[in-house]
């Protein structure tokens, strides 16, 4: 198998489980050395990095609360210190933070915005200090930036729409440096956060043209493509992986 990312170093925020873990595995299998950040899932982060290393890859885990901009910035710096460089940033950490707008507290609002939006900005800012030509910034947004079929998702939709706008603006700013910036918007994906047999699955599935939930590996496969050399002409894009949810 051709390892399209050999010699590259990536950091995946929120990479200990779900879509983030699938992304970390996929990047490692393409030859990249991978750092993942985690907050509460220390055991999962340890298991994931051990699995990647046992398969012949290189992976490290860094504790960093995505709601803390200083911790996010420090994780980028630690990645460079321990792995020697940084080529790929995957902004994956996220929270849902759903609820009726009248019941959303200031703390709940601030936490959702801090994790879903502020962390993307500050991780990207920190990463750009180390990236050269061929660098990649890939953010995992959400199809709910474009379409949300359930009530109670106002703050979540706000943050994910903000991510898409940030991607377009940053792509304009840094394209001359040979660094691409893109957002992937997954639709319903089978994870612990949103299982295919969970309480919202039946109503959600009715909106999916493909008539099924996606998998974390299907999202990860697009990440590895965008991280590789064949995607050098794709920047400022928002790409849906949603089974036709927004069709």
Give the helix ranges, DSSP H, for the chain. Answer: 18-29, 42-54, 69-83, 106-113, 119-128, 154-174, 201-205, 216-227
CA distance 203 to 182: 30
Q: Return the active site residues.
A: 156
CA distance 60 to 131: 19
Q: What is the DSSP secondary structure assignment for residue 8, as one 8-state letter?
A: -
Say if CB 39 and CB 61 are below 8 A apart. no
Handedness of CA 23, 29, 35, 38 (dihedral sign): positive
Say if CB 156 and CB 180 are below 8 A apart. no
Q: Token pair for residue 144?
A: 């709910």
CA distance 122 to 106: 21
């Amino acid at each position: 198998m051709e390892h399209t990312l050999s010699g590259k170093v990536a950091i995946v925020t929120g990479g200990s489980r779900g879509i983030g873990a699938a992304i970390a595995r996929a990047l490692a299998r393409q030859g990249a050395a991978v750092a993942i950040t985690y907050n509460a899932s220390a055991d999962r982060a340890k298991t994931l990095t051990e699995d990647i290393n046992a398969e012949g890859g290189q992976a490290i885990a860094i504790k960093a609360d995505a709601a803390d901009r200083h911790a996010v910035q420090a994780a980028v710096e630690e990645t460079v210190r321990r792995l020697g460089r940084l080529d790929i940033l995957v902004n994956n950490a996220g929270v849902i933070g759903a609820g009726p707008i009248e019941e959303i507290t200031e703390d709940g609002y601030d936490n959702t915005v801090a994790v879903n939006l502020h962390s993307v900005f500050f991780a990207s800012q920190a990463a750009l200090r180390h990236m050269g030509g061929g660098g990649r910034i890939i953010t995992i947004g959400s199809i709910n930036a474009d379409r949300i079929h359930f009530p109670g998702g106002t703050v979540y939709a706000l943050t994910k729409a903000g991510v898409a706008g940030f991607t377009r603006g940053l792509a304009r700013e840094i394209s001359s440096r040979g660094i691409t910036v893109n957002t992937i918007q997954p639709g319903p994906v089978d994870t612990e956060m949103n299982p295919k047999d969970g309480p919202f699955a039946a109503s959600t599935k009715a909106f999916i043209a493909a008539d099924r939930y996606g998998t974390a590996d299907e999202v990860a496969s697009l990440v590895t493509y965008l991280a590789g050399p064949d995607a050098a002409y794709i920047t400022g894009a928002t790409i849906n992986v949603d089974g036709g949810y927004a069709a």
